[in-house]
Amino acid sequence: MVVTSKPAKISGLSFFEAKWGYIFISPWIIGFFAFLFFPMIGTLILSFTNFNLVNAEGLKFVGLSNYYKMFGDPIVYSALWITLKFTIVALPIGIIYPVLLAALMTAKGLWGRQLFRTLFYLPYIVPMVSAAWIWRGFLNTDAGWLNYFLRWFGLPTPDWLFTPFWIMPSLLIISLWGVGNAMLTMISSMQSISDDMYDAAAIDGAGPVTTFIFITIPLISPIIFYNVVLSMIGLFNYFLIPQILKGVAGDPGGSTMFYNLYLYKTFFTYQDMAYGATLAWGMFVLVLACTLFLFGTSKYWVYYTADER
Amino acid sequence: MTTQQLTSKSPTVLSWQMRRFLIGSSLTLFAFILVTAYLTPFLYMVSTSLKNREQQTNPNSPLWPATVATYTYQDQVYTMYAVPTEQGVQNWALVKKGRDSSYFIDPSNPQAGLIEWKGQWRALQEAWVVKFEYSNFVSAWNMPGQAANFPRLFFNSTMISFTGVIGTLLSSIAVAYGFSRFRFPGQKILFMVLIATIILPRTVLIIPTYAFFVKIGWVGTWLPLIVPHFFANAYNVFLLRQYFMTIPREIDEAAMIDGASPLRTLISIIVPQSIPVLIAVTLFHFVFAWNDYFEPLIYLSATPQLQPISVGVQAFNFMYNQQPAMIQATSLLGLSLPVLIFLVAQRYFISGVVLSGAEK
């Protein structure tokens, strides 16, 4: 159809172009179907079966029974609540904090900018397993350094990792340690704002706080949006740090039984693929809905300059 | 602001410079305090990894690696205490214990003989001297009780990461070249699908993939950790495409007119021009694969001798979770290579992040 719509010579060239284009992108096309599309459909299909790697009692379709099980499963609700609770607190802090950090890193007059940037970024590069064990020691009730410092200042010393209440702030602190990458994307976005904008604001008599709220924030809102979407998805799927620290038990007292830890336990520890797939699909629908909602709201608060797409 | 104040009379300029200096130094001080808080956990790790067993069980021990000081007097070893005296706190060795008064020897002046000190010696704190216990690293290196020692885990991590890097470079370069230099029907939609895969949660894919790898016998091998990387991924393709777009088309069009095939143009024109971004992709992927924990955990849980550092360190630390020094020594070994790579090549990391942040 492309051939008939254009002169012969160009159509030869465009056929040549299209052929090579498809050849070059073919690895991704194959990978997309093999490792993304089919597994995704596979998850949906498995959720309607009794597929289980442990007892091969014959694969059969069981209709919606996995979904009935999911909606009647009290652990699902508590796991979802734990996940949402953590997300509601960690998402805004996990965005505002790197924005402020980036503002500090780009502030006029700061000395040793490059060094600070490198050091703030550093924890992001630390393997999750090492990071979790470092913090496990650092937050230890008796021998940990945080409580040592708190004691030194005469402050109360919580039992960070072993009480259902304090485990959440602990996990939040651990995740804020790895905020370097978000900070760096925001720094680069702030640096791309032209000085004219700031000069114009200064002429109008705007102070630094006003300038930051009315110039900087709107102009970096696309990168904020990008970070909001990615960290929301990351938080909904959060479970590895608790898994490293506590195993699959969800200790203390089930307070770290995040949704995905329950999913991991179901499909990996119990090898119940069908119910695991149901839980996975449930989470996928939730994440998709929230992502679409965020994209829907983006036109009200994400500011795209005219020359950008 | 700048022009107005710079052109005004000199006293104002001076005070403006003064203000600027004050703002700058207070910002720097604040950043310094914050960054110190950020780095304290690293300090904790290094310090703890060098502590000996006795210190770990002693609640009065200092934060740094240390041991209780001793003094040998007349062929006998005595423990040293921090003794409050009229001349301030002195580090003396306790020779003869008594209920209401004890006898000490001052190591800096042993000729003075025994000194009587009134007070209860039990209330005294031991005197500590710096001592590094390197044997924790020997244990962390040999990983007693584990199927693989640290060198073996290091080799596994290197092989998995290195092969993955080759795969992702070959495939992502090709795909990014396809998207940046050729027009074909469906290009825009396909590119949008590619970008959309960034926000696809891994959990919705893992179960059928895992079940599939079990069926074809790949679980317990490195293949599930390596093969998928030979099919490109959205982050790397996006990063490379952004960079390829900045290379003028005229150069590769000229090569094409001279009869070079698209593949030849890619290898001889595009790739040599893109070395910095290729280094960035290499480093990102290497560190990602090195740090990855979840996939090696599920695919290699039954074959510990094939596990990478992440999973091996986790198994070891879970076993020795009552020995903080050993745990911190393995954590330090585990993070050393990625951190070293980052510190040496940080400009590539940072330019990579900046490039991927563009146009979002």
pTM of the model: 0.90
Mean residue pLDDT across chain A: 89
Query: What is the CATH classification number for the domain harbouring B246?
Result: 1.10.3720.10
Residue A306 has pLDDT above 70, yes or no: no
Residue B25 has pLDDT above 70, yes or no: yes
C-beta atoms of A222 and B360 within 8 A: yes
Instruction: Kindly state whether residue B327 falls inside one of the protein's structural domains.
Output: yes
C-beta atoms of A137 and B327 within 8 A: yes
Instruction: Kindly state whether residue B339 falls inside one of the protein's structural domains.
Output: yes
Taking CA atoms, what residue in A is nearest to B23?
A109
Q: Are A291 and A234 in contact (CB under 8 A)?
A: no
Q: What angle do CA A239, A97, A284 make, to 5 degrees?
A: 35
Taken in order B32, B35, B39, B40, the sign of the CA dihedral is positive
Determine phi and psi for A161, rounding to 5 degrees: -95, 0
Structural domain that includes position B330: 143-357
Residue B121 and residue B149 share a domain: no
State pLDDT tens for residues B131-147. Answer: 898 999 998 999 888 88
Residue A294 in contact with partner chain B when CB distance is under 8 A? no
- Beta-carbon pairs below 8 A across chains A and B: 276
Residue B155 and residue B39 share a domain: no
Instruction: Kindly state whether residue B193 falls inside one of the protein's structural domains.
Output: yes
Residue B97 and residue B150 share a domain: no
ipTM: 0.90
Residue B22 and residue B87 share a domain: no
C-beta atoms of B232 and A31 within 8 A: yes
Residue B218 and residue B102 share a domain: no
Residue B345 and residue B288 share a domain: yes
Residue A307 has pLDDT above 60, yes or no: no
Residue B199 and residue B238 share a domain: yes
Residue B149 and residue B29 share a domain: no
Residue B360 has pLDDT above 60, yes or no: no
Instruction: Kindly state whether residue B172 falls inside one of the protein's structural domains.
Output: yes
Q: How many domains does chain B have?
A: 3
Average pLDDT over residues B22-31: 92
Q: Are B133 and B120 in contact (CB under 8 A)?
A: no
Contacts with B, A 80-109, CB within 8 Å: 101, 104-105, 107-109
Taking CA atoms, what residue in B is nearest to A229?
B199
CATH number listed for the domain at residues A66-301 = 1.10.3720.10
Residue B167 and residue B106 share a domain: no
Taken in order B251, B257, B260, B261, the sign of the CA dihedral is positive
Residue A205 in contact with partner chain B when CB distance is under 8 A? no
State pLDDT tens for residues B243-276. Answer: 998 888 888 888 888 888 899 999 988 999 999 9
CA distance B312 to chain A (A): 10
The full set of domain ranges for chain A reads 2-46, 66-301
Taking CA atoms, what residue in B is nearest to A142?
B59
Residue B191 and residue B270 share a domain: yes
Taking CA atoms, what residue in B is nearest to A134?
B45
State pLDDT tens for residues A43-56. Answer: 999 999 988 877 66
- Chain A positions in Cβ-Cβ contact with residue B190 (cut-off 8 Å): 25, 29
Residue B208 and residue B320 share a domain: yes
Q: Which two tokens stand for residue A92?
A: 């805004």
Q: Is A28 exposed, middle or buried (0-12, 13-18, 19+ CB in 10 A)?
A: buried
Residue B177 and residue B316 share a domain: yes
